[in-house]
Amino acid sequence: MSQFTQYIQDSYQELVTKVTWPTWKELQGASVLVFVASLIVAGMVFVMDWVFGVNAADSVWRGLVGMIYEVL
């Protein structure tokens, strides 16, 4: 049991003295960056779904590729 207690004490000391925690401003900046990147990726997936007509058999919309196939 003493090894476990020593592990907890060492872990706490390392978190307090050796870890560099981000400032509030850095944390906010990183959060905004992740949010914007997520929106960009979601937009790209939406455009790819729209172009290739995902679930075309189940819906009226066949996507841009489906429209081209109908014209040709």
Query: 14-18, 21-25, 60-64, 67-71: lowest mean pLDDT where?
Result: 60-64
Query: 4-8, 44-48, 64-68: lowest mean pLDDT where?
Result: 64-68
Q: How many residues does the chain have?
A: 72
Ramachandran angles phi, psi of 49, nearest 5°: -60, -40
Look at the pTM and tell me if it is higher than 0.75.
no
Q: Domain extents for the chain?
A: 22-71
- Residues 7-59 have pLDDT tens digits of 999 999 999 999 898 999 999 999 999 999 999 999 998 888 777 766 655 55
**How confident is the model at residue 71, as a pLDDT?**
74
Element (H, E) at 66: helix 63-71
